[in-house]
Structure 1
Amino acid sequence: MRFEGKVAIVTGAGQGIGFEIARQLTREGAHVLLNDLDGSLLSEAAKRIQQEGPGTCSPLAGDAGDLAFIQQLVAEATSRFGHLDIVIANAGITLFGDFLTYSPESFFKVMQVNLGGTFFLAQAAANQMKQQASGGALLFTSSVTGHQAHKQLSAYGMSKAALEMLAKSLVIELSEHRITVNTVAPGATLTERTQDDPAYEATWQKLTPMGRPATVADIAQAALFLVSDHARHITGQSLVVDGGWTSISPGPEPV
């Protein structure tokens, strides 16, 4: 029960890593405001999480890259639960494409959600935490593609590397308010989306030194540590959870 009584926002949490983070926070007593763009997916996710308890989980559907909705998200969490302790900016999009033909529309969409959404959610949450004067924890979801180049992911990798620099930059401005800012950088991970590819697990078993891709639980456990009181003196850091892949960085065979 590390998070009993704590209030958290988790974006991009209808499924996958975000869902598992929210699930584990709720199991350890947190009150979680769950966000995703897909309202029906989100409602079902919140219902499943709430059944496990003992914390509470409430859904709020909306675009985590939209500035007005970001303000609503923070206001809803504080009005519903009275305060805000943890924000996990997990929402993001991946738009593959060759650099030479990558469209402006794809580029700016990736930056709006991955960078703009995270930046302004962190800003709104930090202002609330500053007002409370009780500290807090911000966590951004980065990626191993922010550390090592990956084919057709130049824009995505750029956005994830920028999130890690944002976390470092915010140390200067938020430490005096006892707000920590960190990132977790998943490697290949088994989620509903990646499991649609029948070759995904077998491919990453071969490429990952530990012999398997990550599970969502692997990523969630790292995330929970970084927003817990056990990590209250850790800030501006990125924790890579990739089974050792970035140490050697082999890529998939070309199709």
Structure 2
Amino acid sequence: MSKVLSGKVAVVTGAAGAIGYGICEVLLENGATLVATDLPGEKLDAFAKDLDALAPGQSIGLPMDVTSPEGVGAALDEIYAKFGRLDIMIHNAGIAYVSKIVDMDIARFQLLEKVNVDGTLVVLKETGKRMIEKAAGGDIVVMSTKNVPSPSAGFGAYSATKAACHQLGRIASVEFAPHDIRVNMIAPDAVFAEGKYKSGLWDLVGEDRMKSRGVSEAELHEYYRNRNLLKASVTGRHVGNAVLYFVSRQSPTTGATIPVDGGLPDATPR
């Protein structure tokens, strides 16, 4: 039985984490052939094995550093050589850093710029060039964050660099539209885990958040659930469902952002 993404080839960057796993699950369940990319190493290898257990023979793992134009270009060329097409790019790779502005280490800030900003530009550029050349259209989804419209104290480096990432996605939506390439954004909040995969972001900031609020890990999860309007625990699969909405083209939409946060009035775009 044909599924909505049958015949489509999808790439997920920064795949080996909670949000990446949720996205990969949903894409596989809906028939996509999946290429999960991340930095090379045991983490990606184990992740690729887990995906193959979900949908045998339907996915591969491919090492890719989003900050390397040559590396990204070579990986995309390998995908075209193997599968003959690339229909969907989900740009999920990103890193975080907790620091107040007065304490901020410039070198650490520049590392976030390299991954979150330069990496987004590289992925958009290399994917866009190839999709335009192939003239077959395509869908690109850029992972944004609720911190773009609603930044947090101590999270300036992440908020600022992800805002640049988001803006690059919006600009790409304008430039790529004549080629039937849609570019949309998703803005999650408080995704702690999906299955056995924990969020790398929350591994980094969780301890600071627990200390500042005087709560345990379970209580922190409950705090974030209770602060959204729907009192929802946001999961990687929820993000994957938002991705599916865009890449299955259920409406003629580009340059848009779906918040996946249970409803946060202070993060409503304005």
TM-score by length of 2: 0.86
* AA partner of residue 88 (structure 1): I
User: Which structure has more RCO (C-alpha within 8 Å, separation ≥ 6)?
Assistant: 2
In structure 2, distance between residues paired with 1:35 and 1:50: 14
Number of the residue aligned with 1:173: 175
Task: Say which SS state the counterpart of residue 8 (structure 1) adopts.
Answer: strand
1:203 aligns to 2:223 (yes or no): yes
Structure 2 counterparts to residues 121-136 of structure 1, below 5 A: 121-136=123-138
In structure 2, distance between residues paired with 1:146 and 1:93: 15
Number of the residue aligned with 2:211: none
In structure 1, distance between residues paired with 2:64 and 2:126: 16
Number of the residue aligned with 2:104: 102
Q: Which moved more, 1:34-43 or 1:131-140?
A: 34-43
Q: Is the 8 A contact 1:26 1:50 kept in 2?
A: no
In structure 1, distance between residues paired with 2:18 and 2:40: 13
* AA partner of residue 112 (structure 2): V
Number of the residue aligned with 1:252: none
Task: Say which SS state the counterpart of residue 140 (structure 1) adopts.
Answer: strand
Using the TM superposition, give the Cα deviation of residue 64 of structure 1 relative to its aligned residue in structure 2, in angstroms: 2.0
Number of the residue aligned with 1:212: 232
In structure 2, distance between residues paired with 1:118 and 1:164: 9
Q: Which moved more, 1:7-16 or 1:55-64?
A: 55-64
* AA partner of residue 28 (structure 1): N
Using the TM superposition, give the Cα deviation of residue 164 of structure 1 relative to its aligned residue in structure 2, in angstroms: 2.3
In structure 2, distance between residues paired with 1:206 and 1:7: 38
Per-residue CA deviations over 1:189-227 (Å, capped at 9, x if unaligned) read 122134774433122122122113301111110011112
* AA partner of residue 140 (structure 2): L
Using the TM superposition, give the Cα deviation of residue 248 of structure 1 relative to its aligned residue in structure 2, in angstroms: 4.1
Task: Say which SS state the counterpart of residue 189 (structure 1) adopts.
Answer: coil
The structure-2 alpha-carbon separation of the partners of 1:54 and 1:180, relative to structure 1 and needing over 3 Å to count, comes to farther
* AA partner of residue 244 (structure 1): G
1:157 aligns to 2:159 (yes or no): yes
In structure 2, distance between residues paired with 1:68 and 1:186: 30
Query: Residue 256 of structure 2 is aligned with which of 237, 240, 245?
Result: 237
Q: Is the 8 A contact 1:201 1:212 kept in 2?
A: no
Using the TM superposition, give the Cα deviation of residue 235 of structure 1 relative to its aligned residue in structure 2, in angstroms: 0.5
* AA partner of residue 60 (structure 1): L
In structure 1, distance between residues paired with 2:173 and 2:221: 37
Number of the residue aligned with 1:66: 68
Task: Say which SS state the counterpart of residue 152 (structure 2) adopts.
Answer: coil
Per-residue CA deviations over 1:156-207 (Å, capped at 9, x if unaligned) read 1112222222222123311110000111000111221347744331221221
Per-residue CA deviations over 1:34-73 (Å, capped at 9, x if unaligned) read 1112521212222222222277111112322222221122
Using the TM superposition, give the Cα deviation of residue 17 of structure 1 relative to its aligned residue in structure 2, in angstroms: 0.6
The number of equivalent residue pairs is 247
Q: Is the 8 A contact 2:13 2:37 kept in 1?
A: yes
Q: Structure 2, unaligned stretches of length 5 or more?
A: 207-216
The structure-2 alpha-carbon separation of the partners of 1:125 and 1:150, relative to structure 1 and needing over 3 Å to count, comes to same
Q: Is the 8 A contact 2:87 2:137 kept in 1?
A: yes
Task: Say which SS state the counterpart of residue 44 (structure 2) adopts.
Answer: helix
Number of the residue aligned with 1:24: 26
In structure 1, distance between residues paired with 2:127 and 2:144: 19
The structure-2 alpha-carbon separation of the partners of 1:155 and 1:109, relative to structure 1 and needing over 3 Å to count, comes to same
Give the percent of matched residue pairs that are identical in Structure 1 and Structure 2. Answer: 28
Number of the residue aligned with 1:253: none
* AA partner of residue 73 (structure 1): A
Task: Say which SS state the counterpart of residue 105 (structure 1) adopts.
Answer: helix
1:228 aligns to 2:248 (yes or no): yes
1:39 aligns to 2:58 (yes or no): no
In structure 1, distance between residues paired with 2:141 and 2:121: 11
